[in-house]
Amino acid sequence: MANRIQVPCEIAAQVLFDSDRTCCICRVPGKPIQIHHIDEDSSNSFDLANLAVVCFEDHDKTMVRGGFGRKLDAEQVGRFTPFLYAPLPVDFVLP
Ligand SMILES: [Zn+2]
């Protein structure tokens, strides 16, 4: 944790914009959020596919160690992000 690498400004801006600054897990708008490294490696800050916007509560769930609570692991977080980040098709029409 001592040598934590910051997500570069322009990449952070893109992730926050693409996610509408909304947690990809609970999708509750307006909550304080942070950028989570899906692979938990802060040196891997340049790959948009490795970055997920999560609220503090859901970020805590990615940090679960031991106990009975199920960790929100990379496999799960990785499944939440594509829905949020995937651009809508140009012919998308609201149902
Ligand atoms: Zn959340």
The 10s digit of each residue's pLDDT in 58-92 is 999 999 888 888 899 998 998 888 655 555 566 75
This prediction has a pTM of 0.77
pLDDT reported for residue 64: 86
**What is the CA(13)–ligand 1 centre distance, in A?**
19
Give the separation between CA 37 and CA 82, rounded to whole angstroms.
15
Give, as one character, the DSSP assignment of residue 69: S
Tell me: the pLDDT tens digits for 23-39? 999 999 999 999 999 99
**What is the CA(59)–ligand 1 centre distance, in A?**
7
**What is the CA(18)–ligand 1 centre distance, in A?**
16
- For 36-63, the DSSP string reads EETTS-TT--S-GGGEEEEEHHHHHHHT
Give the separation between CA 46 and CA 27, rounded to whole angstroms.
24
Residue 26 in contact with residue 58, Cβ under 8 Å? yes
